[in-house]
Structure 1
Amino acid sequence: MNTTEKFYLPVDGILEMFNSLTGHHQSHITHPVLQSAALTPVLQHPKVSNIPKTGMGIIKTVKGRWRGVVASRSSSSGNRQVSTDRLPKRSVDLLELGLTKPRNCHRIVVLGAPRVGKTNILQRFLGKEFDEHYEPTTEDFHRKLFHIGGEAYQVDLLDASSERDFPAKRRLSILTGDIFLLVFSLDDKDSLSEASELLNEIKVAKAKILKLKNPARVPVVVCGNKSDLEGQRAVSRPEVAEIIGEDVSFFETSAKDGSGLDGLFRALATLGGLPDETGPSRHEIIPILAYQSLCIGQRGRRGSRTPRGLGAPCAAVDPLARRPSFTSDLRLVLGSSTKHNKPEKCQIQ
């Protein structure tokens, strides 16, 4: 800056910014320069040339606090906010890292009509709270890692809402799924009809890739959400049994008050051969780095005789989880199909 240039440093404005960043009021400021500035009435903004060192000190303080706030807000683990430099550099895949077995890794595909509560049910599974604010989901992919009874488990959750109008993409998501959760709303009969259509699509798609003559029997759970809206109920249990069939597990739930969710999550675990402790109420959420240390430490003790049930059940949500590419999903589908009749190509149309 040219030495003859002048600009004004609004000390009261900086104090206001500083307080908004730190969450403190002026009465809690301990820095002597800031205290004196807060207690002294400012009739006009002083010139920088009159307070060169003091002004620059305040600017550096505010900039430092701002960087800290941005770093802490950009990532979190559970309810704790952590700095980005304390997160893994990439998504954690237990199978790739050799920390678990293929039979302990599952993908749950969630399907259903819009506005039925799929996102909030997933948030509950991840250990988070119900969110009243609704935003249409484009596509959500989550990964929750468990450590139960001395073993590591990985559960991927795919909310394929954006694929409602793209049959080929939806078919690929169905073919990559190990377990399925179909959600409809108890106050919307049309959403039940859509869940029934999706159930048939899943059965046909799985039968086609396995070269079966009849629709495949698939691990699926149907969920009637919003049971808390009893006065607005439009679907009865007999209607559900008639439309969905009695051979499918059905649960009435409320993502808002949590009713029915324990049974729903337990049924999903049973279908995947997962422990009951994968239910959100049965384990503790820990930071992702603590989880990695636990798994690596457990692997280092494999040669010793460590009791199988050592340690309380715990889990971590991978903050960097991203859905694998469609190319990877196609390879996954083709690889799994070769175990059966070795089809020449993957039929996703």
Structure 2
Amino acid sequence: MNNSATTIQDPGVAVPGATLRPYLKRKKSSLGETKVAVVGAGGVGKSALSVRFLTRRFIGEYDQSSDTKYKHTAIVDGESVGFELLDTRSVNEDNGARDEVIRWGDGFMLVYSVTSRTSFDTLLDIRRKIEDVKKVGHVPVIVVGNKADMAHVRQVTQDQGRLLAIDFGCPFMEVSASEDVNKVLESFHVLCREILDYKRRSRTFLDRVFGLKKS
């Protein structure tokens, strides 16, 4: 895994008319930095989604030779959230879901292309491996179908994607990294909410079990 981190400043477009100064005064999350890994088969647009989220720009071609880790700050539900985002590279058909990636991540964006049934079918194996490595019954994930703008070559219906997410017990979104930046941003924010809710529930459980004082 490439441990070098690229810090990208939040351009501040999440709230129309806002400036950078109010963001700097926002209270940061008390639950620490949110570690998100973007996983899925090669060619589904993992890098395009990651860069869209980080910079609001779209890249059509991306020559990725290794995993790439970024640092980013975004406003989610009025709260400043620090992200570590890992854009994974698929190596030897591992779909980016290597043991070290899974151990590192707090939550996972499971990406497939609506134009590739094979990339959709791999999500079952990815989900199973995440649960095996994490050794817990629930891990924050979101199922994201990318390339929704390419309906003329669609191989996976929206209902099929939605049903898979219901089976996983997680949110689902169809997006187009090339055409809809707002849906891409929302997909990351939805996953962030899942992670923060999971962390809050976990901390509350530990407080009950061990009688820890809440911060």
Give a deviation string over 1:239-276, Cα, whole Å, max 9, x none.
224545262211000000116324312312211338xx
Instruction: Indicate the SS of the match to 2:98.
Output: helix
Specify whether residues 230 and 176 from structure 1 end up closer, same or farther in structure 2 by C-alpha distance, changes over 3 A only: same
Q: 1:232 aligns with which of 150, 153, 160?
A: 153
Q: Which residue of 2 aligns with 1:153?
A: 81
Question: What is the total number of aligned residue pairs between the two structures?
Answer: 175
* Equivalent position amino acid for 1:228 in 2: D
1:263 aligns with 2:191: no
Q: Which residue of 1 aligns with 2:118?
A: 190
Q: 1:202 aligns with which of 95, 110, 130?
A: 130
Q: Which residue of 2 aligns with 1:106?
A: 34
Deviation at 1:148, TM superposition (A): 8.1
* Equivalent position amino acid for 1:272 in 2: I
Instruction: Indicate the SS of the match to 1:104.
Output: coil
Q: Which residue of 1 aligns with 2:138?
A: 217
Q: Which residue of 2 aligns with 1:253?
A: 175
Deviation at 1:159, TM superposition (A): 1.8
Instruction: Indicate the SS of the match to 2:196.
Output: coil
Q: Which residue of 2 aligns with 1:135?
A: 63
Give a deviation string over 1:279-329, Cα, whole Å, max 9, x none.
xxxxxxxxxxxxxxxxxxxxxxxxxxxxxxxxxxxxxxxxxxxxxxxxxxx
Deviation at 1:224, TM superposition (A): 0.2
Structure 1 residue runs without a partner (length 5+)? 1-74, 79-98, 275-338, 340-349
1:227–1:253 CA contact under 8 A, matched in 2: yes
> Structure 1: how far apart are the matches of 2:157 and 2:74?
36
Give a deviation string over 1:29-58, Cα, whole Å, max 9, x none.
xxxxxxxxxxxxxxxxxxxxxxxxxxxxxx
What's the TM-score once normalised by structure 2's chain length? 0.68
Specify whether residues 114 and 147 from structure 1 end up closer, same or farther in structure 2 by C-alpha distance, changes over 3 A only: closer
Deviation at 1:162, TM superposition (A): 4.4
> Structure 1: how far apart are the matches of 2:91 and 2:112?
16
* Equivalent position amino acid for 2:124 in 1: S
Specify whether residues 146 and 251 from structure 1 end up closer, same or farther in structure 2 by C-alpha distance, changes over 3 A only: closer
> Structure 2: how far apart are the matches of 1:105 and 1:145?
9
Specify whether residues 241 and 154 from structure 1 end up closer, same or farther in structure 2 by C-alpha distance, changes over 3 A only: closer
Specify whether residues 132 and 165 from structure 1 end up closer, same or farther in structure 2 by C-alpha distance, changes over 3 A only: closer
After superposing the two structures, state which structure 1 stretch, 192-201 or 101-110, moved more.
101-110
Q: Which residue of 2 aligns with 1:14?
A: none
> Structure 2: how far apart are the matches of 1:206 and 1:139?
20
Deviation at 1:161, TM superposition (A): 1.6
* Equivalent position amino acid for 2:186 in 1: G
> Structure 2: how far apart are the matches of 1:110 and 1:76?
17
* Equivalent position amino acid for 2:172 in 1: F
Larger strand fraction of residues: 2
**For 1:161-176, what aligned pairs fall within 5 Å after superposition?**
161-163=89-91, 170-176=98-104
What's the TM-score once normalised by structure 1's chain length? 0.44
Larger Cα-atom Rg: 1
After superposing the two structures, state which structure 1 stretch, 174-183 or 252-261, moved more.
252-261
Specify whether residues 241 and 76 from structure 1 end up closer, same or farther in structure 2 by C-alpha distance, changes over 3 A only: closer
Larger helix fraction of residues: 1
Deviation at 1:196, TM superposition (A): 1.9
Structure 2 residue runs without a partner (length 5+)? 1-5, 10-26, 198-205, 207-215
Deviation at 1:205, TM superposition (A): 1.5
Q: Which has the higher contact order (CA 8 A, sep 6+)?
A: 2
**For 1:35-50, what aligned pairs fall within 5 Å after superposition?**
none
* Equivalent position amino acid for 1:222 in 2: V
Deviation at 1:151, TM superposition (A): 7.0
Give a deviation string over 1:40-84, Cα, whole Å, max 9, x none.
xxxxxxxxxxxxxxxxxxxxxxxxxxxxxxxxxxx9977xxxxxx
Instruction: Indicate the SS of the match to 2:61.
Output: coil
User: What is the identity percentage for the equivalent residue pairs of Structure 1 and Structure 2?
Assistant: 25
